[in-house]
């Protein structure tokens, strides 16, 4: 009763907030999900019988730029978390906004790349490369889009009179865990698809 009188207790027996623990469990399941997609790409790598082939179509400078944009969004996310945890709402709002913009810019690069590949004749049904490439990078882009929605909701919520409440730091930190995970997954995808020779 005493605990209830002082608010809801969210800590598990491990001493970790159970909401944060749930996010870590979710991210672990996402590792399995992306692991299976990456494995499929590697299994069928070089198995395409018809073109266009990766070496003919991949634009490494363009994708390197979009990768840099996504990596910079991790930095802005760290600054947003710092602002939230140190009761600096203006700093938090600024860097949340920057992170959302960088996430949208990354998605813009991906849409441009997909359209360019389509014009070159590469789509899901063209060959093994097209099938595995579009599924893997498309699902990653979907995760970036979900992250943008989450961060946007936090940003809009921060403009309410009560802001994000007394747990602003916690909410932004948990969103940051998801965002950093998405960035790390992209580094793996970028390395395997674009940097390692076919």
Every domain of the chain and the residues it spans: 10-195
If phi over 0 gives left and psi between -120 and 50 gives alpha, with beta otherwise, what is residue 122?
Answer: beta
User: Between the CA of residue 27 and those of 33, 37, 171, 176, what are the distances in Å?
Assistant: 10, 15, 16, 12
CA distances, 36 to each of 40, 41, 155 (Å): 6, 9, 33
- Residue-level pLDDT at 198: 62
Residue 153 has pLDDT above 90, yes or no: yes
pLDDT band at 196 (very low <50, low <70, confident <90, very high): confident
Q: Which two tokens stand for residue 144?
A: 């970036």
Instruction: Decide if 154 contacts 175 (C-beta within 8 A).
Output: yes
Phi and psi torsions of 128, nearest 5°: -65, -40
Q: What is the pLDDT of residue 166?
A: 72
Say yes or no to pLDDT of 192 above 80: yes
State how far Cα 90 lies from the chain centre: 24
Q: Model-level pTM? A: 0.87
pLDDT above 50: residue 7? no
The class that CATH gives domain 10-195 is mainly alpha
Q: Are 57 and 113 in contact (CB under 8 A)?
A: no
């Amino acid at each position: 009763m005493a605990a209830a009188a002082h608010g809801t207790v969210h800590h598990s027996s491990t001493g970790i907030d159970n909401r944060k623990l749930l996010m870590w469990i979710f991210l672990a399941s996402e590792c399995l999900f992306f692991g299976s997609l990456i494995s499929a790409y590697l299994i069928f790598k070089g198995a395409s019988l018809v073109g266009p082939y990766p070496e003919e179509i991949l634009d490494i400078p363009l994708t390197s730029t979009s990768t840099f944009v996504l990596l910079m969004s991790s930095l802005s996310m760290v600054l947003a978390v710092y602002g939230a945890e140190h009761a600096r709402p203006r700093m938090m709002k600024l860097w949340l906004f920057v992170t959302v913009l960088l996430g949208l810019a990354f998605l813009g690069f991906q849409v441009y790349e997909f359209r360019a590949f389509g014009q070159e004749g590469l789509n899901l049904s063209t060959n093994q490369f097209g099938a595995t490439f579009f599924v893997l990078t498309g699902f990653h882009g979907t995760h970036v889009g979900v992250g943008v929605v989450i961060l946007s909701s936090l940003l809009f919520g921060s403009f309410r009179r009560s802001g994000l409440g007394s747990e602003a730091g916690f909410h932004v930190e948990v969103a940051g865990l998801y965002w950093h995970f998405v960035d790390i997954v992209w580094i793996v995808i970028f390395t395997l698809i674009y940097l390692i020779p076919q």
